[in-house]
Amino acid sequence: MATKELHNEIIELKNLVLEMGKYALNMLDDSVISLVDNNIELAKDTKIKKEKLHQYDTEIEDKALKLIALYAPMAVDMRTIATCLKANTYIYRIGRYGKDITNIVIEDLSNSSINLKLVNLRHIWEHVHSLVQDALESFDKGDIKIIDDFTSRDDEIDKLRWSIFRECVSYMMEDPKNISICAHYQMIARYLERCGDHACKIAEKVYYMVTGKHIEIS
């Protein structure tokens, strides 16, 4: 009976992590959309979502620790709970990066008269969105085949980030007025790259959850 209860509780915990993952990814998506469309209201709406993100973080951590204390889980059950705890941390950071991007949009770019079309900034967001989405799907299904190509996909995100850096440097050299906005764009590109790294960390923990073995995606 206790085993059945534990498994039901673990399913609830996983669903809560997935719910948080979708919420955080939505924050990230809306932050980039607010940047691309110069939508300050969307940025403000996205920024206040950090409160619910924090609530998810606390609820998941509390629930996971209670399961460990009540049931003393072993093997795959323990690995699943541990993965939920770690994924919770990475998902929280993804959502926070979304909030950080909205801060830049609201505080630093809303009054800028300069609008540089950095196509690769949209591309890096699309790649990161897909990576996070697939990491969550792998976690949901326990399917490690989904994460087989994460190393090459992460490398592509790194290349895009450096292309944005080079593009920004060229804009800065053309006109010193571009320096401030390009510095912000480079920071946003770095935030997005870090979100991709967090997706890879989630994937690493999923692999451990399923196989009991550790890998490093880099």
Let me know if residue 218 belongs to a domain: no
**Which pair of structure tokens corresponds to residue 217?**
């995606």
Let me know if residue 7 belongs to a domain: yes
**In 3-state terms, what secondary structure has residue 218?**
coil
Let me know if residue 10 belongs to a domain: yes
The 10s digit of each residue's pLDDT in 185-212 is 999 999 999 999 999 999 999 999 999 9
Domain count, the chain: 1
Interval 8-22 mean pLDDT: 98
CA dist 83 and 28 (Å) reads 22
* pLDDT for res 114: 60
**In 3-state terms, what secondary structure has residue 106?**
helix
**In 3-state terms, what secondary structure has residue 215?**
coil
- Domain limits for position 147: 2-211
Kindly list the distances between the CA atom of residue 62 and the CA atoms of 48, 108, 146, in Å, as whole numbers in the listed order: 23, 37, 29
* pTM, rounded to two decimals: 0.95
Q: Which of 62, 75, 56, 88 is nearest to 9 (CA)?
A: 62
**Which pair of structure tokens corresponds to residue 132?**
């996070």
**Which pair of structure tokens corresponds to residue 19?**
């719910």
- Please tell me the least confidently modeled range out of 35-39, 71-75, 93-97, 202-206: 35-39
Let me know if residue 83 belongs to a domain: yes
Which CATH number characterizes residue 106's domain? 1.20.58.220
Let me know if residue 217 belongs to a domain: no
DSSP secondary-structure letter at 111? T
Q: Is 151 in contact with 218 (CB distance < 8 Å)?
A: yes
Q: Which of 94, 96, 68 is nearest to 6 (CA)?
A: 68
Higher pLDDT, 114 or 71: 71
φ and ψ at 208, to 5 degrees? -65, -40
Let me know if residue 216 belongs to a domain: no
User: In the predicted model, is pLDDT for residue 1 greater than 60?
Assistant: no
